Amino acid sequence: MVQLGREENDDLVESLVFMLEYIDKEIAAKIIAACSSNSYTSGQIIFSEGQTADRLPIVKSGKVKMVRYPEPGKEIIIGTFQSGEAFAIPPALDGKAFPSTAVAMEPTTILFLPRARFLEIMSESPSFSSFILGRACGILRDRSETLNIFATASAESRIAGVILSLVDGEGGKTPFTVRLRRQDIAEMAGLTLEAAIRNVRKLHERGVINIEKRKIVVVSTEGLRELAG
């Protein structure tokens, strides 16, 4: 873990204002000044389920997945986060254990805001507090959506629900290109890789999604919403 230097702090303030909406420069500077930074290779664990949540993680660059392991050898993705997103907000708020494991999906750099300073800045800034509470509510809604996906009997509906959640997570704008691997989609849907590949192909054949150069492209969400219920 390394503390950010002054020049790097100045560069990051502007990007943090852009990344975390509604945060002004003064608050961004306070956040950056208190952060440390660490870089991870693809597949490396950032923190593990059960560790004390003594800091708020923010993705500076790269992509992170939050996963749980219900049984040996089985992984379920319960959320993904990319550049500019704060995550693991609920445990950072209450200071209890992280409920899942964070893993870098590609070379990733994470900013860590110590929990004590995180809570102080929330009390100092209504705009930052509002942002954090809004993000926490969004994460809880995403978890509810994940439970709905797992409760769906049809594998095809599960895949549709996962893809729809990815589109909606980016504002619902189409056309939308899914950047996750088939393996990631399978883990988010609680399916095997083979089942995910098979049902992605079915969605393509039905015209619900397009496959262009092996990438899933969503032109319209109407069919996905119908399948996902």
At 19 the pLDDT is 55
Quickly count helices (H) and strands (E) in the chain: 9, 11
Residue 197 burial by Cβ neighbours in a 10 Å radius (0-12, 13-18, 19+): middle
At 16 the pLDDT is 61
Is-contact 161 144, C-beta < 8 A? no
CA-nearest of 89, 86, 225 to 167 is 225
Cis bond upstream, residue 175 (ω within 30): yes
The Cα–Cα gap between 143 and 135 comes to: 12
Q: Which residues of the chain have pLDDT under 70?
A: 1-23, 73, 142-153, 229
The Cα–Cα gap between 187 and 162 comes to: 10
CA-nearest of 55, 50, 60 to 81 is 60
At 2 the pLDDT is 46
At 226 the pLDDT is 87
At 150 the pLDDT is 63
> In the structure encoding, which two tokens stand for residue 184, read together?
């990631």
The Cα–Cα gap between 35 and 55 comes to: 9
The Cα–Cα gap between 25 and 194 comes to: 48
The Cα–Cα gap between 15 and 190 comes to: 35
At 10 the pLDDT is 55
Distances (CA, A) of 227 to 131, 205, 222, 223: 32, 14, 9, 6
Q: pTM for this one? A: 0.67
Q: Could you tell me how far CA 112 lies from the centroid of its own chain?
A: 16
105, HSE (Cβ side, Cα atoms, 13 Å): 20
At 140 the pLDDT is 73
